[in-house]
Amino acid sequence: MKLYIGNKNYSSWSMRPWVLLTQADIPFEEVMVRFDAFTPESNFKATLKAVSPTGKVPVLVDGDLVVWDTLAIAEYLAEKFPECELWPHERADRARARSICAELHSGFGALRSACPMNIEARLPDAGALIWRDHPAVRADVARLVNLWRDCLQKSGGPLLFGNFSVVDAYYAPICTRLVSYALPLPPDVQAYVQHVLALPGVKAWLDAACAEHDFLAFEEPYRLHA
């Protein structure tokens, strides 16, 4: 299998299936396509359009099969590798886990827009201004706190459904945003964030992101240089 991804420092959607595959110890080949631009004539778009109908990352290629949506990739991997137990074992838990992943697909727009993923950066000053001036960001973080607390109380932790699952991979990029912008969190939720960031599959992505040293101005609304 091949997984096409963008820059590790910036590409939150690429991070999700990469972490899922790596943490579950599923072999795959990484194909990184640099974010040069997203215009039709860019090398990024030309490369991805040759692989996927959307011209976006991530894309999983398994033989003749192309899967180009993050949640679809997770579902495919869960079916192909049932022994990895990528979704929770109980049916009700699986339904809740899928709902939580789908909520991220369509929700948390204020947090994702105001705090783009930037793993190697530390932006507490920008984060303080965002927290002060964007009530929608505060509302998104409040929803995260309630969501994560509910899951952790039901599962007993340390992860959202006890053991590592698709849901933790899905929310790993959100954890990096909370750290990069130093957004305030209660201690129990902060402990979950730190546990996720310490997972071997997540840490491998974080280390590689920090080693890229590829400053892309159009991805950096709060900095003029690296």
> Where does residue 213 fall: left (phi above 0), alpha (psi -120 to 50 degrees), or beta otherwise?
left
Q: Under CATH, which number does the domain 91-208 receive?
A: 1.20.1050.10
In this prediction, residue 194 carries a pLDDT of 98
Q: What pLDDT, on the 0 to 100 scale, is given for residue 224?
A: 63
Residue where the block lists tokens 């030309």: 46
Residue spans of the domains in the chain: they are 2-84+213-219, 91-208
In CATH, the number for domain 2-84+213-219 is 3.40.30.10
Amino acid symbol at 25: D
DSSP string, the chain: -EEEE--TTT-HHHHHHHHHHHHTT---EEEE---S--STTSHHHHHHHTT-SS--S-EEEETTEEE-SHHHHHHHHHHH-GGG--S-SSHHHHHHHHHHHHHHHHS-HHHHHHS---TT---HHHHHHHHHH-HHHHHHHHHHHHHHHHHHHHH-SSBTBBB--HHHHHHHHHHHHHHHTT----HHHHHHHHHHHHSHHHHHHHHHHHHH----GGG-TT-S--
Query: Burial letters for 117-142: b for 16+ Cβ neighbours within 10 Å, e otherwise?
Result: bbbbbebeebbeebbeebeebbebbe
CA distance 99 to 132: 30
Name which of 34, 44, 38 is nearest 10 in CA terms: 34
Write out the chain's pLDDT in tens, 226 residues: 999 999 999 999 999 999 999 999 999 999 999 999 888 889 999 999 999 999 999 999 999 999 999 999 999 999 999 999 999 999 999 999 999 999 999 899 999 999 999 999 999 999 999 999 999 999 999 999 999 999 999 999 999 999 999 999 999 999 999 999 999 999 999 999 999 999 999 999 999 999 999 988 878 887 766 6
Predicted local distance difference test score (pLDDT) of residue 225: 66
For 127-140, give the secondary structure using H, E and C: HHHHHHHCHHHHHH
Q: Do domains 2-84+213-219 and 91-208 have the same CATH topology?
A: no
What is this structure's pTM? 0.95
